[in-house]
Amino acid sequence: MTRLLSPLFLAISTFLVAADDLHLKHASETGIITVHRGDSTILTQVAAPTTRPYFHPIIAPDGKGALTEFSPGHHKHQTGLYWGFTRVNGRDYFHNLQSDYWKRNSAKILEQSGSSVSWQTSYDLLDAKGQAVLTQTQTWSMSSSDEEHTLDLTWQGTAMVDVTIGKWKYGGLFLRMPWHKGKTMGEVVNSALQKNNQAEGKRAVWVDVGMDIEGRDDWGHISIFDHPKNSDFPQPWRVDGQLGIGPSRAILGDWKIPKGQTETIRHRFVIHTGKLDPKVLTKKWEDYSKIPYRDVTFISSPAKPVPLIDLNQARLENIVEMDREKAFSLLFTQLAVTDNPEIQKALLKGILLGLDGQRNLIPPATWLELRAKLLDQNNPELTKYLEQLSQIFGDKEAARRALATLKNEDASISDRKQALASLLTQRHKGLAPTLKSLLNEPALRIDAIRAFTSAPTPDAADLLLNHYPTFKPDAQRAIIETLATRTTYAEALHAALKEKKISREALPAYITRSLSLILGPNFAKEFGLQKLPADKEAEIAKYKALAAPTALARADASSGRKVYQTICSACHVMYGEGGKIGPELTGSNRADLNYLLLNILYPSDDIADSYKMVTIATKDGRTLAGNVSEEDKQKVVLNMIGQKITIPKSDIKSRAISDFSMMPAGLLQTLKNDEVVALFKYMQTKQQVPLSK
């Protein structure tokens, strides 16, 4: 009897909870809007007059634990759930929350109580002169039970002037849950079943983030749904190293709202706990979108719409990863039956993405016939993809044509770079003479220098060192980075340093650390980075005294930018320029000197897993260090300083993940005192300054 009564009791209880009315409260003085279920506050939105609105806390449906975080140390500009574009006519509303960017027009309750409640906020996004460029209206509705909250958003942006949302890797809707380094277990999963960094930048109809929540034995989850009426549906998603997520149409490129027009974007949020069931979540998304998942399309050209599986690169990569034989059968069968060039290109591009880094694969039996059929269309883009795929299949004639393209000075630079990349991936023999000649072509020089990493020759180190004095700084840096990838190269660089053919100051700190790993203690003793004093507080106090307000007032920010370019820009983006190894600095807490000193002096003290240094030794003798940006069963994509490199797992001899950051400690010790102060002056700027000569 107990077994029969228990499910019935649970069902009745759930019904009673679901039937409980919700109630909205609005404190107009503070702008705080709260949703209540019974005596409990389950959701809070802060909609203050002069700051960006945000949701925090969002409480789990059963009342146990908060699923959002307030201004975490790793991203202080992020709180809970919010909306902030990164580039609106060049102005950054993602990292700036303050009154010179945001002004509230209104906040009002639409439906105060019942099984669902709704409300609306309106804000102006201000330009540098305080004038509205975009009016953002958010209309929210919410329902709730003990099992889940459902939150619906209709976002409308009305352009006061012609508005361009600039291309960027994130910006728009964003969610920050309570992730803590070394403590939080969590995972991001999307509708294509890609996880964590594999989901970064990929299109999906839903994305879920789940993690440990204080006060709970199970995980808390927030799932975000994309709506089929949204432009560029399904949108690509930002997934960062601390499991922050958000859809971002800007990943695909610039998009515009003409003056006087309104863009509408819709999303649903499902807040739940326990174990994620992707099938159940997909069914919930279908209920929201009113279309079956298998019928999802995102092709925007006049061509006939096709299922998402035919065009979504993320899922194409997964297909190839799961079972190559079945994948080829599926994808090449589809290629054979479609006459739509756009679909053909998308399929080929997806196959190439899935096979990135592979070589000498056996083609399907129908390959030659299919290739001939596609070549007959005389479509340059199709031909380019077919040539790349032919090389993966070991086609010597395709390799010969690629080499001819590489040598052809009349071919486009992009085609020549692609040809070089393909030849290096396929380990084409006899590249050395061509690489040597490419050193004399400025547009291909750096690519040629880096090519010696994958295509070594006995005289490569001497050749590069002989060219070093005559090349510009960017090419000189590429030479040093290349010589730090193989033992014989590193030994030649060590000798050049001892003979002072290359100055110690030309050696970046990250290269010094790589060379110490390759060459051992003798190099580290002579040229390695100095160890920081054990007393952190004393070290920080020393630099705070050096960068006192009077010293900062006298310092030159333009000179600081030059120092920044030397030691920081290879890894960090600031004001839209720089490498993408480490976190972007544009909107970080740079005005706080304590924050700067902690992160520069001790970069490994609080580091996300995605920024830990990974060192891979390959079977052909390379030593490569960077961050893993992608990984599947076939390959690892290593984000190195200056380049990304795809490494087939069959080529890996060993792999080590360190507990320290790619950013070495001791960077400031390589600078003079006036350079340190100038760097801090530049780091605290609010807009870009000219570069000193």
**Residue 295 confidence (pLDDT):** 63
Residue 594's domain comprises: 536-683
Judged against a pLDDT cut of 70, whether residue 5 lies above it is answered with: no
- Claim to verify: residue 512 and residue 648 sit in the same structural domain: no
More confident residue, 129 or 354: 129
**Which range (277-286, 587-596, 633-642) has the least confidence?**
587-596
- The 10s digit of each residue's pLDDT in 245-284 is 999 999 998 999 999 999 999 999 999 999 999 999 999 9
Whether the upstream peptide bond of residue 363 has omega within 30° of 0, thus cis, is no
- The 10s digit of each residue's pLDDT in 206-228 is 999 999 999 999 999 999 999 99
- The 10s digit of each residue's pLDDT in 474-507 is 899 999 999 999 999 999 999 999 999 999 888 8
Judged against a pLDDT cut of 60, whether residue 16 lies above it is answered with: no
Judged against a pLDDT cut of 90, whether residue 130 lies above it is answered with: yes
Residue 418, in any domain of the structure: no
In the chain, DSSP finds a helix count (H) and a strand count (E) of 22, 24
Residue 508, in any domain of the structure: yes
- The 10s digit of each residue's pLDDT in 399-421 is 999 999 999 999 999 999 999 99
DSSP H stretches of helix in 355-426: 367-375, 380-392, 396-407, 413-425
Residue 414, in any domain of the structure: no
- Claim to verify: residue 139 and residue 20 sit in the same structural domain: yes
User: pLDDT confidence of 160, banded at 50, 70, 90?
Assistant: very high
Domain boundary at 259, 289, 319, which?
289
Judged against a pLDDT cut of 50, whether residue 301 lies above it is answered with: no
Distance (Å, whole) CA 434 – CA 444: 11
Q: Which residues pair with 630 in a beta bridge?
A: 637
Distance (Å, whole) CA 364 – CA 346: 19
More confident residue, 609 or 669: 669
Residue 297, in any domain of the structure: no
CATH number at residue 160: 2.70.98
Judged against a pLDDT cut of 90, whether residue 523 lies above it is answered with: no
Give the containing element (helix H, strand E) for 336: helix 324-337
Where b means 16+ CB within 10 Å and e means fewer, 286-300 reads: bebbeeebeebbbbe
Judged against a pLDDT cut of 90, whether residue 613 lies above it is answered with: no
DSSP H stretches of helix in 409-508: 413-425, 432-438, 445-454, 460-467, 473-483, 487-498
Residue 46, in any domain of the structure: yes
Distance (Å, whole) CA 437 – CA 458: 17
Q: Which two structure tokens, joined as six digits, stand for 390? A: 């032919």
Residue 229, in any domain of the structure: yes
CATH number at residue 565: 2.30.30.100
Three-class SS string for 140-171?
EEEEECCCEEEEEEEEEEEECCCEEECCCCCC
Please count the other Cβ atoms lying within 10 Å of the Cβ belonging to residue 504: 11
Which residues make Cβ contacts (< 8 Å) with residue 468, sequence separation at least 6?
Answer: 476, 479, 496, 501, 502
More confident residue, 58 or 548: 58
User: pLDDT confidence of 588, banded at 50, 70, 90?
Assistant: low
**Residue 320 confidence (pLDDT):** 44
- Claim to verify: residue 198 and residue 54 sit in the same structural domain: yes
Residue 413, in any domain of the structure: no
User: pLDDT confidence of 323, banded at 50, 70, 90?
Assistant: low
Contacts 24+ apart (CB under 8 A), 594-600: 594/540, 594/544, 596/680, 596/683, 596/684, 597/540, 597/543, 597/544, 598/540, 600/667, 600/668
Q: Half-sphere exposure (CA, 13 Å, Cβ side) for 494?
A: 24
Tell me what the mean pLDDT of segment 180-191 comes to.
90
**Residue 43 confidence (pLDDT):** 96
- Claim to verify: residue 521 and residue 540 sit in the same structural domain: no
Domain count, the chain: 4
- Claim to verify: residue 378 and residue 285 sit in the same structural domain: no
- Claim to verify: residue 106 and residue 29 sit in the same structural domain: yes
User: pLDDT confidence of 297, banded at 50, 70, 90?
Assistant: very low
Domain boundary at 527, 555, 576, which?
527
The mean predicted confidence, pLDDT, of the chain is 85
Question: Exposed (0-12), middle (13-18) or buried (19+): which is 237, by Cβ within 10 Å?
Answer: buried
Look at residues 474, 479, 473 and name the one whose alpha carbon lies nearest to residue 451: 479
Residue 689, in any domain of the structure: no
**Which range (26-30, 319-323, 590-594) has the least confidence?**
319-323
**Which range (399-413, 521-535, 615-629) has the least confidence?**
521-535
- The 10s digit of each residue's pLDDT in 544-575 is 889 889 999 999 999 989 988 888 887 888 88
User: pLDDT confidence of 10, banded at 50, 70, 90?
Assistant: very low
- Claim to verify: residue 547 and residue 520 sit in the same structural domain: no
- Claim to verify: residue 451 and residue 365 sit in the same structural domain: no
More confident residue, 116 or 313: 116
Judged against a pLDDT cut of 50, whether residue 97 lies above it is answered with: yes
Domain boundary at 289, 323, 353, which?
289
- Claim to verify: residue 69 and residue 150 sit in the same structural domain: yes
- Claim to verify: residue 510 and residue 559 sit in the same structural domain: no
Sheet holding 113-114, edge to edge: 113-114, 22-27, 32-37, 40-46, 54-58, 81-84, 172-175, 245-247, 237-239
Distance (Å, whole) CA 23 – CA 133: 34
More confident residue, 106 or 606: 106
Distance (Å, whole) CA 53 – CA 300: 33
- Claim to verify: residue 89 and residue 184 sit in the same structural domain: yes
**Residue 133 confidence (pLDDT):** 97
Distance (Å, whole) CA 394 – CA 363: 9
pTM above 0.85, yes or no: no
- Claim to verify: residue 243 and residue 101 sit in the same structural domain: yes
**Residue 296 confidence (pLDDT):** 66
CB 301 within 8 A of CB 313: no
Distance (Å, whole) CA 150 – CA 272: 9
